[in-house]
Structure 1
Amino acid sequence: MLAIALALGAGLGWGTSDFLGGLKSRALPLPSVLLLSQATALALLATATAVRGSGPPGLDFLGQAAIAGLGETLGIAALYRGFAVGTMSIVAPVAAAAPLVPLLAGLAAGQVPGSLQFTGMALAVLGLIITSRRPTDEAGTRPQVSILYGMLAALGFGAFFLTLHNAGQADIGWSLLTARLTTVTVIASVIALRRHRVAVRRSDLPALAAIGVLIVAADAQYAFASILGPVGVAAVLGSLHTVVTIALARIILKERLSRLQAIGVGVVLAGVLILSLA
Structure 2
Amino acid sequence: MLAIALALGAGLGWGASDFLGGLKSRSRPVPSVLLISQATALVLLTITTAVRGVGPPDPAFLVQAAVAGLGETVGIAALYRGLAVGTMSIVAPVAAAAPLIPLLAGLVAGQVPGPLQFAGLVLTALGLVIASRRPATGTGDRPLTSILYGLLAALGFGTFFLSMHHAGQADTGWALLTARLTTVIVIASAVVLTRHHVTVRRSDLPVLASIGVLIVAADAQYAVASMLGPVSVAAVLGSLHTVVTIVLARIVLKERLTRPQMIGMGVVLAGVLALSLT
Query: TM class by shorter-chain length?
Result: over 0.9
AA in 2 matched with 1:8: L
Code of the residue aligned with 1:112 in structure 2: it is V
Q: How does 1:1-278 map to 2 (within 5 A)?
A: 1-136=1-136, 139-278=139-278
* Residues 276 and 97 of structure 1: CA distance in aligned 2, closer, same or farther (over 3 Å): closer
Report the number of matched residues: 278
User: Does structure 1 retain, via aligned residues, the 8 Å contact 2:233–2:276?
Assistant: no
Give the aligned residue type for 1:266.
G
Contact 1:97 1:129 in 2 (8 A): no
2-side partners of 1:260 and 1:240: how far apart? 19
Question: C-alpha displacement at 1:124, in angstroms?
Answer: 3.8
SS in 2 for 1:97: coil
Change over 3 Å in CA distance of 1:168–1:49 after alignment to 2: same
One-letter amino acid matched to 1:196: H
Displaced runs of 4 or more, over 3 A: 113-126, 271-278
Q: Report deviation, 1:111.
A: 1.9
Contact 1:102 / 1:161 at 8 angstroms: preserved in 2? yes
SS of the aligned residue for 1:261 comes to helix
Question: Per the alignment, in what secondary structure is the counterpart of residue 195 of structure 1?
Answer: coil
CA separation in 1, counterparts of 2:144 and 2:271? 27
Is residue 37–residue 210 contact of structure 2 (8 Å, CA) maintained in 1? yes
Matched residue SS, 2:197: coil
C-alpha separation in 2, matches of 1:10 and 1:138: 36
What are the ranges of 5 or more consecutive residues in structure 2 without an aligned counterpart? none
Structure 1 residues 109 and 138: alpha-carbon distance in aligned structure 2, compared to 1, 3 A threshold: farther
Aligned residue for 1:140, secondary structure, equals coil
State the Cα deviation string for residues 110-155 of structure 1 (Å, max 9, x = none).
1234433443454344333322222226842431111111111111
Contact 2:120 2:270 in 1 (8 A): yes
Q: What is the alpha-carbon distance in structure 1 between the residues aligned to residue 171 and residue 37 of structure 2? A: 24
In the alignment, is the contact (CA less than 8 A) between 2:7 and 2:221 conserved in 1?
yes
TM-score (norm 1): 0.95
Gaps of 5+ in 1: none
What value does the CA root-mean-square deviation take over the aligned residues?
Answer: 1.6
Which letter does structure 2 place at the counterpart of 1:73? T
Counterpart AA for 2:143:
P
TM-score relative to the length of structure 2: 0.95
Between 1:87-96 and 1:134-143, the stretch displaced more is 134-143
